Chain A
């Protein structure tokens, strides 16, 4: 969550409610559980950690608003997160948000991230299948490797949908 918020801020300074709206657009129904409180808690933590700056902007007709912006340290961390492609921790949601944030911020090309991820997953799949080949069929190890293989296959198929989606987006621009 912290990383996603940082990466979304990389595009331009934002209000908390704008950030929440962008997250909800990116997540669709999965984002319904996201309440405003979570975004603000995250922003406060990031502020304490010195990763975002807060400016209070006065408004004539409404109460003052806080505008959040990245500090240099925050920008470094957002860039590191975008290019970190370790898949183990990266549930589809996180990778999806990474691509969204990459496109919004312009800090990375989502299609290039998909390509890099595909290379990593294909290598892992090749390893898993080679390992599976060495196991006697019906063994416990073979069963586990089959599970690992099926997950990687599903992830790779989904990556192709990501590639198509973001490739079309970049073409339209």
Chain B
């Protein structure tokens, strides 16, 4: 079976000498189509660094990343950016929405960048905002939305190019319990529709909803729990 995502011997170190940090140290990880993998571990153990490497947002010092069997780490920056736009959706703890753009425009943006026509981008944005329960907030700026609503806009944006893989870094980290529940429900839906999902989380509910949970410690994956 071909994996959606595969990391082999992935390594990323920062600094040198006594200040050397082995943020990611010889990590192997394979994600099957439709699989949800939770990554948990203490603060500073390297989860975000790993997720950035998996999504091609950062380059490894060693090892490789294969997206649908194709190497991601060796691509030029432009080629990597193209792959990221269409094959991977990102959701971050701090939402990373453009404050000057409305919810709808935020969602449209990656579609336009990937070459969709303005009409097509608009159609997809409207559809996705409806799906995350924000049809009536499409014209709002992020500053007028609650944290939970902003994160749902971010999820809609991550889905606009229909990527088979979603990478999320503590998607409920900035949310209260009720807003986190909404995002949780959304992630469960994405899982059911067969999208592969890698979620870094401190939220036991998200971990408990995964197919598999890996524990990271000091840059390495040290434990695994299979949940289905």
A positions within 8 Å CB-CB of B: 115, 118-119, 122-123, 125-126, 128-129, 149, 152-153, 156-157, 160, 163-164, 167
Q: With contacts A122-B213, A126-B227 known, is A152 near B204, CB below 8 A? A: yes
A125 surroundings in chain B (CB, below 8 A):
204-205, 207-208
Q: How far is the CA of A153 from the CA of B201 in the complex (A)?
A: 13
Interface centre among B202, B209, B218, B225 (most CB of A within 10 A): B225
B42 sits at the interface (CB 8 A): yes
Interface CB pairs A-B, < 8 A, 17: A115-B223, A119-B223, A119-B225, A122-B204, A122-B213, A122-B225, A123-B227, A125-B205, A125-B207, A126-B209, A126-B228, A129-B208, A149-B205, A153-B204, A153-B208, A157-B204, A167-B217
B positions within 8 Å CB-CB of A: 40, 42, 202, 204-205, 207-209, 213, 215, 217-218, 222-223, 225, 227-228
A157 surroundings in chain B (CB, below 8 A):
202, 204
Q: How far is the CA of A167 from the CA of B228 in the complex (A)?
A: 28
Q: Identify whether the interface residues of B are mostly helix, strand, loop, or mixed.
A: mixed
Q: With contacts A115-B222, A167-B217 known, is A122 near B207, CB below 8 A? A: yes
Interface centre among A122, A152, A153, A164 (most CB of B within 10 A): A122
CB nearest neighbor in B for A119: B225
Is B42 in contact with A156, judged by CB distance below 8 angstroms?
Answer: no
Q: How far is the CA of A149 from the CA of B209 in the complex (A)?
A: 12
